[in-house]
Structure 1
Amino acid sequence: MKEPIQTILHTVGHRPWPIPNPSWFWYQEWNEVIFLHYQVNGKRLRELVPRHLQLDQFDGEHWVSVVAFTMDRVRPRFTFPIQFLSTFHEVNLRTYVTRDGKPGVYFLSIEAEKILPTIFARLASGLPYQHSPIIRTNDSYTLRGKRCEIGIEFLKKDRIDFPSPKELWLTERYSLFRGKNPEETAMDVHHKPWELFQVEFMKLNLRYAAYDGLVNFGNPNLCHYSPGVQVLAWL
């Protein structure tokens, strides 16, 4: 059951900083989410992230994550979603950064299923969206693109009632950094806390050709499933 927007806006105890003062501009849903988290070498990672963004660490560890989900009901404020534009499958590869003490994520790669939403998302957000054919069912993802190949089959397992500090650090992120210009501010987002579940993989084939020397994609350190969140975003 979807929550009223006012309920989402009033659920703020989990946030590391207040919601921005201007009104939100975008509504979207990130549904049926798979997280694959990998500890990586910080020196190699530093070469891939703009210098004005600081690499974030948890207990001295650097991380990247593959996040596969369905983007749904995307719309600007005061409008309605249009099915062929507002719903599509997405897979992104992200890492964890800070800017002026504010933690967030920086995207190394974003693959989206449909051509028109890919173009629109790239223009509207400035994030590195690229089109790739993605097929998903309730328990699988298949992606064969120029930059990556993904084959995942999974089973959702037990709910994680008390996520660890590391699990919260990896998932509860409320700023997206584009990294193109040192003067740019982050894109802020807000949602209720993630509902996380353990996940078991029956099949796990991942390959990002550009990052083979950085990540052993076949051996994630942590994995999660979530039914998803309703997201508000600010320009």
Structure 2
Amino acid sequence: MDIEPVEAAPAQAFPRAVLRQRWDDLTFLHWAVAPELVAPMLPAGTRPDTLDGVSYVGLIGFRMVGLGLGGGPGVPYFGTFAETNVRLYSVDGTGRRAVVFRSLDASRLVPVLVARATLRLPYMWSAMRLERDGDRYTYRCRRRWPGPVGAASRMVVRVGEPIADPTPLEHFVTARWGLHTRAHGRTLHLPNWHPRWPLHRARLLHLDDELVAAAGLPAPVGAPASVLYSPGVPVRFGPPVSLRRARPAQVRQSA
């Protein structure tokens, strides 16, 4: 099986977007994890993606802005909210690299219910807040529903300089052009497109997290392998494709 390369620049945009949104003020924390530990947590037809034999678990906090359908405007009020997700990294039988979400905590109930019903994404309704004080960002989350109720996270980072030349690990955990999910008896791949990430170095000042453990993964121990910040990007999602109907991926040249 040919696996598509990890490309920092996006592939050609697909002609029809089913969802549009913007991701702002993102902080990415990542820890190494054994592939055999996370393999049972991935959808059928996928396996852990690895870099030098290691996979990663990510804790990502950000603001979702202007979520809307197709080419239409963002949904007022319900389309903008804070979010924190726990994710893993996957590759499928066609060679597509993607992310798999173990949990997605969001501060608006309606998007949570819609995403759970349609794509079976593990969205959770939570009380959340994102605060900025100069170059310092604080992400707070406390889960309301469905559970474990009260699971909380607080992370504080200080943003540093822009990254001109990201490392292979920094590309691996950010340059992802799709997600895998299991819905209605099928494993689906949802492609996404956005400009190349504008990444910054960041320093983790404080972390008190229960979301990773609540997602069935070992609680973070020690310093993350990677701490990154991005001011954000506009994003489009294409229509989902069942892996049973997906064509093998053609290997693209690295950027």
The two structures have a TM-score, normalised by structure 1, of 0.86
Does the 8 Å CA contact 1:38/1:215 hold for their aligned counterparts? no
Counterparts of 1:195 and 1:42, CA distance in 2: 28
Deviates more, 1:118-127 or 1:131-140: 118-127
Q: Per the alignment, do residues 53 and 102 of structure 1 end up closer, same or farther by CA in structure 2, a change over 3 Å counting?
A: same
Structure 2: any 5+ residue segments left out of the alignment? 1-6, 240-255
Gaps of 5+ in 1: 1-11
Indicate whether 1:77 and 2:67 are aligned. no
Q: For 1:64-213, what aligned pairs fall within 5 Å after superposition?
A: 64-99=57-92, 100-138=94-132, 139-145=137-143, 146-147=147-148, 148-180=151-183, 183-208=186-211, 209-210=213-214
Task: Identify, as 1 or 2, the structure richer in helix.
Answer: 1
The structure-2 alpha-carbon separation of the partners of 1:212 and 1:123, relative to structure 1 and needing over 3 Å to count, comes to: closer
| Equivalent-residue separation in structure 1 for 2:186 and 2:165 (angstroms) | 38
Q: Which amino acid aligns with 1:49?
A: L
Which residue number in structure 1 is paired with residue 9 of structure 2? 14
Secondary structure, aligned partner of 2:173: helix
CA pair 44-96 structure 1, distance change in 2 beyond 3 A? same
**In 1, Cα distance between equivalents of 2:115 and 2:217:** 29
CA distance in 1, matches of 2:222, 2:82: 21
Separation in structure 2 between the aligned mates of residue 163 and residue 124 of structure 1, nearest angstrom: 35
SS, match of residue 117 in structure 2? helix
The one of 18, 30, 43 equivalent to 2:36 is: 43
Paired with 2:206 and 2:138, the residues of 1 have a C-alpha distance of 9
Q: Offset at 1:132? A: 1.1
Per the TM alignment, residue 64 of structure 1 is displaced from its structure 2 partner at its CA by 1.0
CA distance in 1 between partners of 2:118 and 2:106 (Å): 14
Give the drift of 1:135.
Answer: 1.5
For residues 69-95 of structure 1, what are the alpha-carbon distances to aligned partners after superposition, in whole Å with 9 as ceiling and x for unaligned? 000011112422232111001111111
Deviation at 1:51, TM superposition (A): 3.8
| Contact 1:50/1:180 (<8 A) preserved | no
Q: CA deviation at 1:23?
A: 1.3
- Deviation of 1:212 after TM superposition, in Å, equals 6.9
Distance of aligned partners of 1:19 and 1:182 in 2 relative to their CA distance in 1, 3 Å threshold: farther
Letter in 2 for 1:83: P
Shifted more, 132-141 versus 203-212: the winner is: 203-212
Return 156-165 or 43-52, whichever deviates more: 43-52
Distance of aligned partners of 1:43 and 1:27 in 2 relative to their CA distance in 1, 3 Å threshold: same
Alpha carbon RMSD of aligned pairs, Å?
2.1
Identify if the C-alpha distance between structure 1 residues 102 and 167 changes in structure 2 by more than 3 Å, giving closer, same or farther. same
How far 1:56 moved relative to its partner?
0.5
Aligned partner letter, 1:123: A
Q: What is the aligned length?
A: 222
* Larger CA deviation: 49-58 vs 207-216: 207-216
Paired with 1:34 and 1:213, the residues of 2 have a C-alpha distance of 20
Q: Is the 8 A contact 1:190 1:231 kept in 2?
A: yes
> Does residue 25 in structure 1 map to residue 23 in structure 2?
no
What's the counterpart of residue 7 of structure 1?
A: none
The offset of 1:13, in angstroms, is 8.2
User: 1:117 aligns to what SS in structure 2?
Assistant: helix
Q: TM-score, normalization: structure 2? A: 0.80
CA distance in 2, matches of 1:202, 1:13: 27
Amino acid at match of 2:120: G
Give the percent of matched residue pairs that are identical in Structure 1 and Structure 2. Answer: 25
